Structures are given as C-alpha cells and as structure tokens.
A and B are shown apart, each in its own frame.
Chain A
Amino acid sequence: MQPLAEDEIELVLVMVDAAAAVVAPEDREDLFDDFAEDMRESGLVPGAESVDVDESDAALVDGHVFLGIGLTVLGQIAYRVLAVATDIAINRGLRDAVGYARGLFASADGDAEPDGAGTPGTPGAPAAPGRDAAGDPPVTRAVPTVGEIAALVLAAEGNTLPPQVDPAAIEEIVREQLRALAEAEPRGPGDSAPA
C-alpha cells in the first residue's frame, strides 16, 4: 500500500465515515477521530499492515479474533475503491474518481444532475446487480455497476480482508463509499483550492 496524497486521504476518510455510519457505528463513534488523525499523519490506512508478533507474547487466546467490520477494513476497501474508480475515470477521460462516481449514480438514477443530498427515490435500483446499463451515461460505453466494482475490489484485496467479510457485505460497503465519493468535492490536478 502506497502512502496517499492529502486530497486522496480526505476522500478515503469521507468514504470510511459514510460506510462506518452504516456497518460499524460504534467503531465510528469511538475511533474515527483517532483513525483520521493517524491516517493524515502517515498517509496509510492505520492497521492494514500486520505488525510483528513477539513469540513470547502472552495472548488472550491463540488464533485470530474477529470483532466485526472495523475502520481498518473499511479503509482498505475505500483505498481500493478509490484506486479502481480513479483508473476507470482516467480510462474514460474523466477528470477523477469523484466525477466518475457522480456519473455512476446520476446515470443509474436517470437524473440529469447529481443531487448533493444523495440519491432519493429508489435506493435499491441504482446498485442493482442486474445488467440495466444506464439510460443516458455521460460516456457512450457501458458504465460498470457497483457490483462489478465490488468484484474488482474483492479480487484485489481478497487475501488481505478477513474471511468473515462476505461479498454481499463488500458490495454494500462499496455502494456506500461510492455514494459518499459522488457527494464529495471533486478535486483534480487543476484544483487550487481544496474544500
């Protein structure tokens, strides 16, 4: 995992915040400030790298204990979603991942312009795993659905995520994070004033 640039860090934090509000509210309440502070300091997702274990450690129990989806897992997924979305955006000639995410939700909703308050109306429809490619996408090629992005994330991060996080959970997390990304302030190489 490479250290992220400042604006990317903020995007990842926004995505983690949004996803945590849905899947990990206690962690978000207790830990998000520490998580954000740590991430801004180091540029890496805190907790993603496994730390050395001393052989003579007296552990509570042998083996791994899964306490639920935490901020680190959400951070790892957000990192990958941002990378995938940025790649797709660049391939399509869009400026950055935010632009792509907006296009994704706008096209799925059929709205002409993305609504800052989120996607009202049909919460289930935008991310349906079905093949309903958008009515009027900003680009002529078919837009990858959230499901497909989730599959890409799973393929890239599958080994580093805990096995208890199933593909359905990943898809839900990815959807929330893309939604948050769509609502974020777009930043690109030409932007001079970060929000």
Chain B
Amino acid sequence: MGPATPRPREAADRTFDTARLRRLRGLNRALRVLWVAALAPLLLFNVPLVVIAATDGTADPWEWAAIGIGGVLLPFAYVAIQVMQGWAAQSYRHRHDGVKRREVDWGDPRWEAVRASFEASGLDPRTIRALSVWDRTATLVTRHVPRPTPGRLGRGSDWGVRNGGCLLGLGLVCGIVVAVLDELDVDPTDGTAFTVFLVVASAVVWPLAWRNGRAQASLNLGNPDNVVLIPMHWRPQLRDNPSFRVHLMHEIAHARHDDPGRRKLLDTCAGVGPFAVFVDSAAVVAMRLGDVVLMVLFAATLVSGIAGVRRAKRLIPLVQELRADTEACRDPEAVGHLSAFLRERQAEQPSHAKATRLAALTEATWRGPGARLVAPAALPAALFGLLILASAIAQWAGVVGSSG
C-alpha cells in the first residue's frame, strides 16, 4: 500500500488493534449479559409452576415432568408464535407496499464508484445485499427482511396477514358462543364427535405448523436476510466522500450480526417480560411469611424484574450500535471520520444515543465499555433472579412454609 511504514506508526497501529479487539470482546460480553437480563423472566418461568406443584403435594413424577416441560415450552411457544406472525406481516408489507426498492447490482456501472470505494476497505461487496430506494428523509439503514415460506404455506401465511382482522373477529365470535353455551349448560365438547374432530384437526394442523415453523426458523433465524437500504441521495456521497466509507462498514457490521433481526426478537421478549415477571412473582408470594415482609418482597420482585427487562430493551440496541461503530473503525482515521459525523448530527439533534457513541469513540484510552454501561439492567435482573430462586429453594428445603 506504499513504502514501509516507520516503526512508531506500526506500534501505534498494534496498540489500536489490540484496544479494538479488547473493546469488541467487552461489547460482546456486555450484550450477552443484557440478553440474559432481558430473558430472565421467561427463563425463570418454570420456577413458580414447580414451586406450586411441589407444595401442593403431588408426588407423581409424570406430572412433575409435564409441568417442567410445559414451563419451558409455554414461553417458547408464545415467543415463537408472536415472532413468526411479525415476520409474516413484515414480509407481506415489504413485498406489497408498492415502494420501489431496487436491488443494487454491484456490477452495474452506476454503482461502480461505490463498489470501488467499498473494495478499497478490503471487503467483498457481494457479501452484502443492498437495496436502493428514493426517499428524501431516509438514512442509511440495515433491515431484516423476513423471507416467506416457499409454496402453499407461504401463500397461506400471506392470506392470514391479509385477513388477520377477520380471523380475530371470528375468534371473538367463537369465544362469545362458547361463553353463551356454557351459561346454558350446553357442553359441545361432550361426546365422541368432538373428540374425533379434535384428533383430525390436530393431525392436519400440527404437521403443517411444524413444517412452517422449521422453515421460518431456518430462513429467518438461521440464515437471515439483512439488507442495507441505501437512499439514492446518499450515492454521490458514498461515491465521492471517503469519510463515508465508515458508514457503509457500520451497516455491514449490523448486517453481519443480524442486529435488526435480534431487535425483533427483543421486542417480543421484552413485550411479554413484565407479564412473565408477574407470573414469576407467584414463587415469592407463595411463601408463608408475615404480610408486610411478603408485600415488600413482592414489590421488590416486580420492580426489579420489570426494570431489568425494560432497561435491557433500551440498552441492547445501544450496545449493538457501539459494537457496529467499533467494527467499522479499523484505524484512527476512521474513528476521526465517524466522530466528526456524529458530532455534527449531535449538534443538530442532540440525543443520548449519539452522546454515548461519541463518548465511546473519543475517550482517550479507548477501553472497553465497562460495567457502567450494563449495570442499570444487570443489577435489577440479578436481584430479581435472586429473589425468585431464593424463594423457591427456601420453600423446597422447607425453611419457609408454603401456601401453595
């Protein structure tokens, strides 16, 4: 790339590289901690069920096994169904919203200069998928585009999205009918006809659900499609302005780590998090202790659990941005470009995220993110976990009586 670099420069480069790698390790560790904090209520979902079963006195091991498995499958099934419905809706919208997004053909002469700029950073443009779109207000973004299941299952899924409102209405009507029949003491589930219907319906529906679930998981989790959306008015800058190279690298980092896809999972998990916290707190409330003590413990469980989930939900995207920044900046020059860009944007529209990213980029020693970043979510989640597990163990060991 030029004449041999002098020694001080080499040493400085090595220092930069080591610091950068240390930083990346720190950020990945921070992300893992935050994900545990976000998922803690769902992971501990089993605990109250087991506690209640144990203290009810059922010694039947099969029932225990059923409860144990149910406690794991239930939150998993809920999250899986919600996420897949979200994918189906987003996939449908992406294909049918009428917005002209053109696949960037890196061989096209019009994108030649951007490709050259990209290759100068040492990456193969064919590793990323990019779509160009005309939109004056858009910024460079990476989007997780869910793929539909091929064939009839996919078409059925599209039908479900189109008629989602009707399906909900139908469910509502059925619910009312069942309630009315219940009032009239008519039980349609009595009798062999219903059992036959149930068996046949299950035999038809379950394999389809299994096939669709597996296909969706492999298409959108195992090999997710993360595209970089390039607004057309960014092309001249990407072509001519070398400082914009770091922006493309930032988006590529997001695409490589499936950050947008993970955010969708996070939305669902954090959405049901508070409800799961409430259910989990049954393990605490089941203890036979004084009323005041119980109230305090219950409040502490709720507050710490919900705080842990909500803060993790806020922090995970931020740490993803920090990681993308670190991956994008492979030399001090890139750090300079990105900081200048963020500084200008911060001056126009101040925000906490930009301030944090700027501070992380410009701090003198370029150390890892530190516990300071993760603590607001990790500490409450740890307290929540401690309360739940300690209550369960205390009841199990008979240290504390249980009101089941």
Contacts and interface: CB of A to CB of B under 8 A. Distances in A.
A76 to B, nearest CB: 8
B97 A52 contact: yes
A162 B247 CA distance: 22
Given A26-B236, A30-B239, A59 B136 contact: no
Interface residues of A, number: 37
B99 A72 contact: no
Interface in B226-270: 229, 231-237, 239-240, 247, 250-251, 254, 259-261, 263-264, 267
Interface in A8-35: 26-27, 29-31, 33-35
Interface string A41-75: 01000111111111111111111111100111100
A16 B268 CA distance: 46
Given A47-B134, A56-B264, A34 B110 contact: yes
Contact of B353 (A30, A42, A53, A62): A62
B310 interface: no
A72 B135 CA distance: 8
A38 interface: yes
B232 A31 contact: yes
A167 B140 CA distance: 28
A71 to B, nearest CB: 7
Interface of A is mostly: loop
Name the residue in B99, B259, B342, B348 with the highest tally of chain A Cβ atoms < 10 Å from its Cβ. Answer: B348
B138 interface: yes
A108 B403 CA distance: 93
Given A31-B233, A31-B235, A61 B345 contact: yes
A140 B143 CA distance: 59
B109 to A, nearest CB: 11
A26 B240 contact: yes
Nearest to A26: B236
Interface in B118-162: 133-144
B90 interface: yes
Given A30-B239, A31-B235, A50 B264 contact: no
A16 B144 CA distance: 35
B330 interface: no
In the complex, the 3 A-B pairs of residues with the closest C-beta atoms, listed nearest first: A46-B134, A47-B134, A56-B263
Interface of A: 26-27, 29-31, 33-35, 38, 42, 46-67, 70-73, 162
26 contacts: A27-B236, A30-B239, A31-B235, A38-B100, A47-B231, A50-B137, A54-B143, A54-B260, A55-B267, A56-B264, A58-B263, A58-B320, A60-B139, A60-B247, A60-B250, A60-B251, A61-B342, A61-B345, A62-B351, A62-B353, A64-B139, A64-B349, A66-B348, A70-B136, A72-B134, A72-B233
